[in-house]
Amino acid sequence: MFYVSMFFQYISQYVKTRLQYRADLFVEFLSDLMSQAINLIFILVVFGHTDLLGGWSRDEIIFIYGFFLVPYAVFSAFFNIWDFNERYIVKGELDRILTRPIHSLFQIILERIELESLLGAVTGIAVMVYAGSRLGITLTWYDPLLFIVFVIGGALVYGGIFVVLACISFWADAKTSIMPMMYNISNYGRYPVNIYNKLIRFVLTWILPFAFVGVYPASFFLEKEEWYLYAYLTPAIGVVFFSLSVFLWNQGIKKYRGAGN
Amino acid sequence: MDKYLEMIRVRFLMMLAYRTNYYTGILIYSINIGAYYFLWTAIYGGKEEIQGLSVVQMTTYVAISWMARAFYFNNIDREMAMEIMEGKVAVELIRPYNYLGMKTMQGLGEGIFRLFFFSLPGLVIVYFIFPIRFTWDLGVWGLFALSILLSFFINTQLNLLTGITTFFLYNNAGLIRAKRVIIDLFSGLLLPISFFPGWVQSIMKFLPFQGISYVPSMIFTQGFTTQEAWAAIGQQFIWVIVLIIPIQLLWHIAKKQLVIQGG
């Protein structure tokens, strides 16, 4: 209960600070929309020159992209920890966090919340509806439920990977640029995995399972039966990776000695 | 002039001190090139060529456009935004140099550093991983060199423009991000301008973006004939000149209404 009330306290504070610079907030919305539009334009232009991409049609690829946007939006809203090392370890902010009576990871997530990213989920759903209607996808009563489960699974996969990366700073305090690299790798998950070679496909499925954020769960709704097994695995992979990352985080906190100032 | 050259040198040395950051950078770019390599191979499927580019040329295009990006790309828009928000710009303004000129030189120092410590080793690495074909025609390399220098100026000028808007917007992180995405797409980094539908291409002709990535990459992959290359370089040059006007204009207005937010 305490955690829930903290959650809303932080959110109300957050909304206040964001509304301070309204013009910028607006531009930020626009820039999010624009980067999503640009990825779509890329797909559209590419399909002006080909009919199939590794056996997937234009609308299917667009649908996958739309799906990807939803867990990604949830992830970016709540796991804005890419600068954890600089912000919390190097500047010693983590000491402040540790003196407080809530779980440290939870608190950092709340501090760095970026709710405006959730707008991406709206775009994603709109894109899915557009592509889905062109593909003639029919919905059954359990599809929306599965959708929510898959989205949470995908967001947890993302969150898990990035929390693990943040944990690296507990053991190695040197500045690394692994985080931006991971953002780039995550882009691989937006496209059907069968266009990549075996090694990359394996990595995207079992080691850095970004394929579970986009193509695998989306293929369930596209009725691609050969990927159903992977689609059903999505929530499991999400929970496993996220629990692993929280475990690692707790170990890291125990080891944390402070960077000095 | 001396002090500007000195600024290039200082920035270069500063980057040199933090060079370990760049080894991971090369990896990031290689990963990006890899992603696009697989994507493009799938897009080509069995096709010999699309819009006059073969799949090897396309791979080379992707590789060279990312490596050229390392040279022309800089964050001076974000640096300017920080300096303006923190009020440091006030001190910068009373120093005996042109602030914008100095920022450009810092960007150039950074660019030269990345050219030698990032693009060159990076190119060698991707050359061995992906099927890329380089030309050994020195004339092409010469045109390419001239062209990426102009790319640098166009991109930097757009960054300066974005940076100056901080004076009016106070916090322009969103705008900076928007600018970056637009440049990635419309400069031809993600896909050659010739792949766009005709009407888009004709609009792009009147915009400076394709001078940033498309022109040098097409010169390098020999998608342009020598004549086309010279025409494109001429256009880049015109944009460098034209962009000076809005920068000077905005800068003039901005200086008059400087607001420091705390500090």
C-alpha distances (whole Å) from B115 to each of A133, B26, B30, B112, B158 are 48, 11, 15, 5, 20
- ipTM given for this complex: 0.81
Q: Please tell me the distance in Å from A124's CA to the nearest CA on chain B.
A: 18
How far is A94 from A98, CA to CA, in rounded Å?
Answer: 6
Which pLDDT score is estimated for B6?
A: 86
Q: Is B231 touching A (CB cutoff 8 A)?
A: no
pLDDT tens across B245-258, in order? Answer: 999 999 999 888 77
* Alpha helix stretches (DSSP H) within chain B: 2-17, 20-44, 55-72, 76-86, 88-94, 99-114, 120-129, 138-164, 166-169, 173-186, 198-204, 214-220, 226-256
- Domain hosting A167: range is 13-255
From the list B238, B179, B187, the residue with the least C-alpha distance to B217 is B187
Residue window 120-149, chain B: list those with CB within 8 Å of chain A.
none
Is residue A5 in a domain? Answer: no
Chain B residue at shortest CA distance from A34: B178
Inform me whether the C-beta atom of residue B184 falls under 8 Å from chain A C-beta atoms: yes
In this prediction, residue A168 carries a pLDDT of 83
- What residues does each domain of chain B span? 2-256
- Identity of the residue in B35, B43, B197 whose CB atom sits nearest the CB atom of A50: B43
Query: How far does the CA of residue A232 sit from the closest CA of chain B (Å)?
Result: 26
Q: Model confidence over B13-45: pLDDT tens digits?
A: 888 877 666 777 788 788 888 888 888 888 888
Question: Using only C-alpha atoms, what is the Rg of chain A?
Answer: 19
- Which of B23, B48, B114, B175 to substitute to test the interface with A, most A CBs within 10 Å? B175
- A-B Cβ pairs (cutoff 8 Å, strict): 98
Which pTM value belongs to this model? 0.86
Are A72 and A120 in contact, with CB atoms under 8 Å apart? Answer: yes
**Confidence at residue A9, expressed as pLDDT on a 0 to 100 scale:** 87
Integer Cα distance of B253 and B37 in angstroms = 46
Confidence class for position B262, pLDDT limits 50, 70, 90: low
Which chain B positions have a beta carbon within 8 Å of A197's beta carbon? Answer: 38
3-state secondary structure of B97: coil
Low-confidence ranges of chain A (pLDDT < 50): 261
Question: Chain B partners of A24 at a C-beta cutoff of 8 Å?
Answer: 169-175
Query: Cα–Cα distance between A107 and A113 in angstroms, integer?
Result: 10
Nearest to A221 by CA among A148, A113, A167, A152: A148
pLDDT in tens, B193-249: 999 999 999 999 899 999 999 999 999 998 899 999 999 999 999 999 999 999 999
Q: Does B45 touch chain A (CB under 8 A)?
A: yes
- All residues of chain B having their beta carbon less than 8 Å from the beta carbon of residue A83 are none
% of chain B surpassing 90 pLDDT: 35
Mean pLDDT, rounded, of chain B: 87
Note the pLDDT of residue B45: 83
pLDDT at site A157 = 94
Determine the pLDDT at residue A67. Answer: 94
Write out the DSSP string of B32-67: HHHHHHHHHHHHHTT-SEETTEEHHHHHHHHHHHHH
Subunit contact B24:A52, Cβ cutoff 8 A: no
Residue B263 has pLDDT above 60, yes or no: no
CA B4-B5-B8 angle, to 5 degrees, is: 90
pLDDT at A87: 81
Residue A224 maps to a domain: yes
- Residue-wise pLDDT for B53-66, tens only, equals 898 899 999 999 98
> Does residue A149 fall inside a structural domain?
yes
Q: Confidence class of residue B259 from pLDDT cuts 50, 70 and 90?
A: low
Residue A180, chain B, CB below 8 Å: the answer is yes
- The answer to whether position A107 is within a domain reads yes
What confidence tens digit (pLDDT) does each residue in A152-201 have? 999 999 999 999 988 888 887 666 667 777 777 887 888 888 888 888 88
B172 touches chain A (CB under 8 A): yes
Domain count along chain A? 1
**Which among B50, B181, B190 has the least Cβ separation from residue A49?**
B50
Cα Rg of chain B (Å, integer): 19
